[in-house]
């Protein structure tokens, strides 16, 4: 693997920086998506639950990094698996572009009922 070969150290650094950049973009998108998906009466509660879950998951980071003492590849494997899992799960969140913010729970039901996979409204 790349990590165990000292000659490829700069490649590992470049891939790590790219991974961290992608993580930061995903973090920003998560906050915007949370604001748009939760209906007004539940927005505060939904955001707080999201923060709690993300904090609990973030607290496991040092333990994952410590796996590197056993094998240098383990942290990269774990973080990559979580990234792929996050990408797959994010496909289950309805698209909110061009849709007004949900004011009632019924608005969320309508949004989910009208949701179609792989029908992104990107540039319109």
| pLDDT tens by residue, 37-84 | 888 888 889 889 988 988 898 899 899 889 988 988 888 888 888 878
Sequence-separated (6 or more) residues with CB below 8 Å from residue 93: 33, 37
First to last CA, the chain: 43
CA max distance for the chain = 58
Structure tokens at 112: 């989910």
Q: What is the mean pLDDT of residues 91-119?
A: 76
Sequence-separated (6 or more) residues with CB below 8 Å from residue 94: 37, 111, 112, 114, 115
**pLDDT per residue over 2-33, tens digit each?**
566 677 777 777 877 887 787 777 777 777 87
With cut-offs at 50, 70 and 90, classify the pLDDT of residue 119.
low
3-state secondary structure of 121: coil
**Residue that wins the pLDDT comparison between 115 and 3:** 115
């Amino acid at each position: 693997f790349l990590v165990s070969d000292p000659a490829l150290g700069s490649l590992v650094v470049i891939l790590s920086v790219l991974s961290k950049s992608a993580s930061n973009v995903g973090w920003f998108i998560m906050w915007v998506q949370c604001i748009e998906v939760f209906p007004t009466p539940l927005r505060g509660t939904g955001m707080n639950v999201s923060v709690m879950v993300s904090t609990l998951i973030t607290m496991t980071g040092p333990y994952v990094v410590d796996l590197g003492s056993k094998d240098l590849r383990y942290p990269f494997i774990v973080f990559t698996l979580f990234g792929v899992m996050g990408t797959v799960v994010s496909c289950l969140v309805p698209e909110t572009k061009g849709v007004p913010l949900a004011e009632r729970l019924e608005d969320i039901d309508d949004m989910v009922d009208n949701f179609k996979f792989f029908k992104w409204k990107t540039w319109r």
